[in-house]
Chain A
Amino acid sequence: MLSEIGTLSLILAFGTAVYAMAVSVWGARRAEDRLIFSARSAALLTFPLLLVASLSLLFALLTEQYQISYVWQVTDPNTPALFRFTALWGSQEGSLLFWCLLMGGFAFGALLINGREHRRLMPYVTAFTMATLAFFIGLVLFMENPFARYWVGANGETVSAVLQPAGASVPNAARLAETAQGLNPLLRHFGMIIHPPMLYLGFVGLVIPFAFAMAALASGDLSTNWIKATRRWTLAAWLFLSLGLILGGRWAYDVLGWGGYWGWDPVENAAFLPWLIGTAFLHSVMIQEKRGMLKTWNMFLVIFTFSAMIFGTFATRSGLIDSVHSFAQSEIGLPMFCFWAAATLIGVTLILWRRGQGRLRDEHAFAGILSRESLFVLNNVVFVALTGAIFWGSFGAPIVAELTTGTDITIGTEYFEMVTPPLFLVMYLLMGIAPLSAWGAMTIGRLGRALIVPAALTVIALVILFLTGTTLAGALLGYGVVLLAGFVAVYETVRGAAARARVTGENFAAALVNIFGRNRRRYGGFIVHLGITVIGIGVIGSTLFQQETQRTLAAGETLALGGYTMRFDSLDVGQIAEDGRVMDIANISVLQNETVVAEIRPRHDLYPQARGMNTMTIAGAHSTLENDFYVLLSGWQRTDPANPNAITATFKVYLNPLVNLVWWGGLVLILGTVISVLPNDKLGARAKVESSAPHRAGASA
């Protein structure tokens, strides 16, 4: 029953999306409101239909309908309720349906909220979002249907089909439940409850700016309408993407058990690339808003952000690259490739066509090389270079090496740690300078004066760091550049509040609150910069000063690393958890100055039922703001067959300095982005309308 409901609503959703796409374009061409309205209504219907389909699958998961092959693949009778829920995105078919649902949700929101404005743009926005959505629904429906069921064929063989094939019978329910596979152990973690939805939201949200940009190109309404309409959508997608990346890092840190959070794995990089281009776009689009420049360039950025997102999805799900993260190889590679290539080529051609018509001409010339717009252009160069270098390492070099020499090569951390740091340094440097610069023109003297206070603070911080033992030149350079960017963000905010306090006579705290109320975009942007600074410090600390050691200890023995001492107290072997996994847990005391500061329990889990990767090493960590003392149980041996308590265990121990700043910085970044997305206070907004629009203050650079 659920299978039929799900499939039927998918068919209907696919139909309405295709209808909306076609009729929307037709209506726009013939300028018939009736058609456009009909298309929009159809488009709005896709989301509820996808919701019905997703709820059917969810209901099937929760009620253990193992005849549905997806349910059989990702859950078993031991699966706790929470993981039945997250199993919705636990494997290819379900996660694609979930992906469609989220994309449908974004399209629904955009059409509902922006639907009544921008009469020229909206029909094409409908068309482009629905085309994208229809493609993904089509993939689910025709190639990866999660509602397929198992049947026993006439000859006793197992077949998988949505509808009962002729002569086939329903398999034995008990046998199905008994053989069900259960969720991939790697996904049984709280991080996995929230990481994929966030990443998917970030990914699918990019369809909105893409659709608006394409609509602008197709309709010829190349004013800043599309930018105004999409700023919040782009920021929302960017927020979710950032969250997804940070949570992914956290998940890797907790679950993958190698002491780090970012492994430069092609799949991680595939998610990072759209973030990089998207960030470049968020900055460069401000130049277009303020100065009417870089119109062609912005179009390229928005289309390549979308293109990178589709490419990442395609590369991850098609088996183009081998990766620990990738989904099993499947047939959807070719259709996804075609969609990616078509979207990119159509986008690029549309841009060049409009540019050829002279419709993307700049309204201003660059007034000065030392201006905010030039610094933003430099920022774009850095982001594009980062994108290029990371793309090359993850995909380009392995593919080209394979095609030209037939050699499989691995591009690992070594490459990325050599190529990206200089670019990130320039990025942070620009992050420090650009907010101090002005639109139009700026002299070096003025910039220098604005820099005095943050630079002085940075120097003081560096001297303190040096005196407290950080003498590595590279680290000091890194900390210096990153700190400068942070101090500039804080200093500019304080300066803004102080100026307001002077003018209005409010006290400083009230002034601070008010400037945030009046210009959320600018000050929210500074908080985002602060978050990126905090992350940067965490990354430098945990990358350059990580310590690790591995030792085999008998009970009672100790091991010292970086000011901590760990004592191996005992090992609990063969604990069985409620979901059936078998755990070996080490009890460890962490001592500092001979006092116990923490008891941690690193463990080794075995999932006897799971196929393939069936063990997990879960770290135990003593976490402080200064560092993490992170312990992995690598293995254990009995030393005396006669005495079951004679055990030695091998531990891998990491000291990860400042790693928590990465997570805290992530929170700050989220806070800043939320502030940027929120509308300004009513009063402020009115004041802004009254003052002339092109001179709106500052930017969330």
Chain B
Amino acid sequence: MFLRGILKKISQINFGLMSPEDIRKMSVTKIMTPDTYDEDGYPIENGLMDPRLGVIDPGLKCRSCGSKGGECQGHFGSINLARPVIHVGFADTIHKILRSTCKSCGRVLLTETEIFEYKTKIEHLIKNEESLTSIIKEIYAEARRDKCPHCEEEQEDIKIDKPVSIVEGNYKLTPSEVRERLEMIPPEDALILGVNPEVAKPEWMVLTVLPVPPVTVRPSITLETGERSEDDLTHKLVDILRINQRLKENMEAGAPQLIVEDLWELLQYHVTTYFDNEASGVPPARHRSGRPLKTLAQRLKGKEGRFRSNLSGKRVNFSARTVISPDPNISINEVGVPELIAKEVTVPVYVTEWNIEELKEYIKNGPDIHPGANYVIRPDDRKIRIYEETKEVVMEKLEPGYVVERHLKNGDIVLFNRQPSLHRMSMMAHEVRVLPYKTFRLNLCVCPPYNADFDGDEMNMHVFQTEESRAEAKSLMRVQEHILSPRFGGPIIGGIHDHISGAYLLTKEDSVFKEDEVFQMLLRSKLPLPKKTGNPWTGKQIFSLLLPDDLNLVYKAEICRKCDECLRNECENDAYVVIEDGILKSGAIDDKAYGAFSGKILDHIVKEYGTDRAREFLDASTKLAISGIMIKGFTTSTNDEEIPREAKERIEELLDKAENRVEQLIEAYKNEELEPLPGRSLEDTLEMKIMQVLGEARDKSGEIAESYFGMDNHAVIMALTGARGSMLNLTQITACVGQQSVRGGRIKRGYSERTLPHFKKGELGAREGGFVHSSYKEGLDPLEFFFHAMGGREGLVDTAIRTAQSGYMQRRLVNALQDLNVKPDGTVMDNRGVIIQTMYGEDKVDPAKSDYGKVVDIDKLIEGMRIKSNK
């Protein structure tokens, strides 16, 4: 069979109601007295803390099942209610049922033919395992008549007075009357009303017996003062019992109807709030202190309820969370852990004759000195805390077979995570580096996979507790194993920001360093020192020290201007990168070399030389780049966006021209001289042409500004090397911000026929439509500022909506795919063993190991070979 591996399969789950008999059968004792403990502190028999309801104290045995405290899950008791009460959870259903049934004969208010039709429909749906909700809704809408079709009885309107009062005409039905009416409904009719007679009868929605949950559900707490404090549920049950008692006594004494009814109401109130203390229309029951009681529904509901806070999400041990901060000196594989945390979370170590001395040393240090230990677990599983006073004794007793929970120390493997955990690189295994202060430290190269920055981000750390998990994490989850992303087959871990600028400054043409500077840099990057030559070094020579000796690679750098005809080795921007036998012959190192998301050299090293080599390369190259940038010096300010007066004049002239052109277009439109573009209305054509003119104007103004920027400008270096920012950012600061848009077009909203009251009606020129012709540096005028805020707001709203939408989309996708697995022969199967794909991805390629999604990058191979053969 293809269900192999499945031992037990759930064929169906029935949901039904509990009958009074079920409740009595399950009950181990009747609860009669509202008291809990007697003067001596012993639980009272037939009280709410009756010992038969289960035990909490370990050591005591349960009177009902005989198991020890902690093992006995408790037993239900029951309260016989003096008068029936309506269950709040079913009040709505009761109301709907009573409205759709006859008051005298109990039949559903449908004709025989209708009943037959609905019955066959329902049976058909049940057979096909389809949902009944819609048809039952239809029945409730249909079964409302003034006269019963079966006994001709006139029907009265039944209303519900939230939460539990059922009113017929002007008379309020008592729960007993409600129950009697529900009892009259024949089982066949109940089925049509959505109550399956096999598992529930309508009258069970009115309670005659109340189950009392075991004490394990509502444990009492002993305060330090020796005072006992009962659970909210127990308090509520006491109230119920008291009123129940009084009601019973009054009834037996033959008290006037009015008094009995009042007590009955009160009993209904207590039972209602026992189930749900936030039911609308009922004042919540309060504790003596005035705090509303937390009853059954409140335990389950909402974010802090059982489902969301205890079942879907759980707290874990051996974990830590704190703010993150950068540390360029640690390896990408490492994480800096504050000593405070290292002393709190522990690693269990089995004592053997080979490590006993070492472990004794930890115990000697105790819980407060760093490489210490917090607990010792004896072979009989008893856990002993190590105190300053007890550590000597514990140390004496230590022998193989014991387990020592020692502090986290350098080299331990931990799991490091940042929410939202959207892809597998959101949880990676790091090696611990215990450091002073209170933040987690991480290498800057691992910011992109975690999507982390240091504006207050916090991250979580989990300590592995078994050898197996450590081994698995080390081989599968270590940071270096995740340099290549399965998303696009390229590196996701790599240099960022200053790493890129630094490498560019280091390796750009005519970048020469004095030999002592070079040695200083190498020393700082912890690289082996080469022999002294006595001559100055070029940056390319320095960078070549990091490259594997047999590396051959050719690619175009990020600074490539994409000329019409590539000059290759003669590139005047130094953008044609050639690496021959591990020597950087030409080209500058930038984002394309070892940046996150696009680093070609890094990508090549991981794929050809393995992850160890790649980690070394990344650690060394980023450190070298930082040393480089420190020697060269690097700074940016608005002075970088400064252009001469003549440039400003040229831009002004250009923008004026464009604005005039827009006026001309509008004039042409008004005179009906404008030719519509194919498939567009005249208005659309005008809009498009205006957008085009203004777009061009912005671009041209940018080009003018750019022509005054050179590679000696630090902001430009950052933009062109891909370190941070773009040329667009710079030209918006310098020349012209450009058209603001809302919903993909120029701004048209606001007042009738105009965007702001400062304009004439009907005019939609460049300014009126939200064209910002100032630059950020000049400053925007108030109207421009307002339009800019409109465009900016749309951007913010869009990102907020996009994250929510894509988050839910991803969640559904992950839920659909999580149980799929790839078999050794490449078939993809789900957990039932059904084939999803006969070959993974149809080509059996692991995208993380592919060349940007392709099986092989032929161009890359050919280029590599060409260099080799050219020598």
A and B are interacting partners: no
Chain A residues with a Cβ under 8 A of chain B: none
Chain B residues with a Cβ under 8 A of chain A: none
